[in-house]
Amino acid sequence: MEGESKSLWLRVWQSFMSALGSIVFGMEDGTVSIFGLVFGVAASATNSQTVLLAGATGAISAAVSMMAGTYLDVSTERDRAQAAITKEQDKIEHQPEAEAQEVRDRLRQAGFSQADAETVTTIIQRTPGAMLKHETAFDLHIGDSAGQNPWVQSIWMFAADLFAAFVPVLPFAFLPLARARTLSLVVTAVLLLVLGVGRGIIGNKNVVITALQTLAIAAAAGAAGLLVGSLITGRISG
């Protein structure tokens, strides 16, 4: 039982790591988009409940949309990769010498001598599955996309997007409008800083730059929301 539990947690952890890029992207997207919506509505709302309703509805809708988009994207990429692998396997079975020559040529271009290229190709040919793996990696340039589970990726995206989208919204569930605006701004800024740092670590970039970029995007979304909210309020009042 303990072994099964560890195996389950290991699979969950592996799926989390495989979807880490999507999780960070989903959280950043959810935070920025709903932050703009919340502050646009807050510019014309008279109470927190109105902002809460608009923000919660937008957060759930956005999360479902991101989940669906991720599922379709991963599913399509997986199908494309699997079709390419199947085609390559057929070529290996029916045109073995042509495929072997491709390997020799690739090795020669990489700097191998003719003799070494021939030796390596011979080893690859007699090792079960090695030719397909070689061609998949170096000719088709297919990484893990063929084995990705679209449901796992889309569920992680949904959870990440929904969690992050509710961060700017939750203060309006507990506080009056003015105080909720301030707290929403603070907690959103903190989350975006963390996400910016995370994006920098994942992409091996300067974390200060990525954090500032994330904050700048959120500020632009918030400003756009405030502008639209103010314009609509002005037209209604006029």
- Tell me the mean pLDDT in the region 120-131: 83
Quick check: is 17 in a domain? Answer: no
Given a contact cutoff of 8 angstroms between Cβ atoms, the answer to whether 30 and 164 are in contact is yes
For the chain, the distance separating the N- and C-terminal CA atoms, rounded to the nearest angstrom, is 69
Whether the predicted pLDDT of 54 surpasses 70: yes
Nearest to 20 by CA among 227, 175, 160, 205: 160
Q: Cα–Cα distance between 163 and 94 in angstroms, integer?
A: 51
Q: What is the pLDDT confidence band of residue 214, given thresholds at 50, 70 and 90? A: confident
pLDDT higher at 52 or 10: 52
Quick check: is 101 in a domain? Answer: yes
Given a contact cutoff of 8 angstroms between Cβ atoms, the answer to whether 27 and 161 are in contact is yes
Quick check: is 3 in a domain? Answer: no
- CA 189 distance to own-chain centroid: 20
Beta-carbon contacts of 132 under 8 Å, excluding residues fewer than 6 positions away, are 85, 88, 89, 92
Q: Cα–Cα distance between 131 and 123 in angstroms, integer?
A: 9
- Give the pLDDT score at 173: 92
* HSE toward the beta carbon, residue 131, CA cutoff 13 A: 24
- Tell me the mean pLDDT in the region 25-29: 77
- Give the pLDDT score at 24: 77
What is the domain range of residue 227?
24-237
Burial (CB < 10 A; 0-12, 13-18, 19+), residue 113, is: exposed
Tens of pLDDT along 101-113?
A: 888 888 888 888 8
Q: What is the pLDDT confidence band of residue 57, given thresholds at 50, 70 and 90? A: very high
Burial (CB < 10 A; 0-12, 13-18, 19+), residue 197, is: middle
- Give the pLDDT score at 139: 67
Quick check: is 40 in a domain? Answer: yes
Question: In the chain, how many domains are there?
Answer: 1
Q: What is the pLDDT confidence band of residue 225, given thresholds at 50, 70 and 90? A: confident
Tens of pLDDT along 158-208?
A: 888 888 889 889 999 999 988 998 898 888 888 888 888 877 787 778 878
Summary mean pLDDT of the chain: 80
Quick check: is 8 in a domain? Answer: no
Quick check: is 10 in a domain? Answer: no
Q: Cα–Cα distance between 27 and 191 in angstroms, integer?
A: 9
